[in-house]
Amino acid sequence: MKITWLGHAAFLIEGRDKVLIDPFLTGNPKAPIGHDKVDCDVICVTHGHADHLGDAVEIARRTGATVASIVEMSMYIERCDVKSVGFNLGGTAKVENTEMTMVPAFHSSSIGAPGLEFSAAMAVGLVVDTEKPVYHAGDTCVFGDMKLIGELYRPDVALLPIGGFFTMDPRQAALATSLIEPKMVVPMHYGTWDPIDQDPKEFERLVRESSSKAEVAILEPGEPLEV
C-alpha cells in the first residue's frame, strides 16, 4: 500500500482502491499537484472547511469517484451532481473495495457555498481500510477516546495534525500517538500558513521521548510512503 501526502491534510492512499482524503489542492501553497491531475476511485472528506472539502466536487465530477462524508455534508454534495455516500459516527461504509469507519473529532465545520455559509454537521475522523487500516484524524484536539480508536481499529498508520492554532500541536499530537499506538505516524496540517508553522522534528522528538513505539514518518508534499 502506498500513501502520498499532497500537502496540508490531503492524502492519496493506494491499495485495493485509490482513496483521496481531504483534497485541498487549489489554493494550497504546499500542493505538489493540481486537482486536474489526481486520479482516484473514492474521496473522503472529514469536514466542510475549504481546506478539507477543497476540490472534492470538481475531482469527483471528472473521475466519477464517490464522495464519502457525514450525512449532512453528503446532502450538499449530492446537490452538486456527484455520487455521495453519507454515514455517521460509529458507522462503517463500504465504497468500492474500501471500508471506512467514521470516528469522532473535536472541531467545527461549515461550507462556504456561493453567497451562503452553512453548517456541515460535526467534523469527524476516518479509519480507512483499502488494504491496511489508516486513521486520518481530520482536524481535532487530542481527546482520551483516541485510545478506543486504537483498541478498536488498530491502525497501521495514523495521520495526525500538529499545526496548533486550529488543531492540536506537536505536544498534543505526541500524546495522541501514545493513546492510539499505531505502527507508524505521519504529521500533517502544518506549515501551510504562518499560524500553523511547526517543526515536525519537534513532534518526532516528543514521540520518541514518550511511551509510544510508533515510527514517525515525516513526508515532503508529493512524497510517497510504502506501508
Each residue of 49-88: pLDDT tens digit? 999 999 999 999 999 999 999 999 999 999 999 999 999 9
Weakest-pLDDT range from 30-39, 114-123, 154-163 = 114-123
**In this predicted model, which residue has the larger pLDDT, 119 or 176?**
176
189: nearest Cα among 129, 125, 119:
125
Beta strands 92-95; 124-129: pairing state = unpaired
Q: Check residue 115 and give its pLDDT.
A: 78
CATH of 2-220, one of 3.40.50.10470, 3.40.50.2000, 3.60.15.10, 1.10.3720.10: 3.60.15.10
Note the maximum CA span of the chain. Answer: 49
Specify the pTM.
Answer: 0.98
Q: Check residue 145 and give its pLDDT.
A: 98
CB 24 within 8 A of CB 50: yes
- 167 CB-contact burial (10 Å; exposed 0-12 / middle 13-18 / buried 19+): buried
Mean pLDDT, to the nearest integer, of 92-112?
97
Q: Check residue 117 and give its pLDDT.
A: 86
Q: Is the pLDDT of residue 113 over 90?
A: no
Read off the pLDDT of residues 144-188 as tens digits, 9 standing for 90 and up: 999 999 999 999 999 999 999 999 999 999 999 999 999 999 999
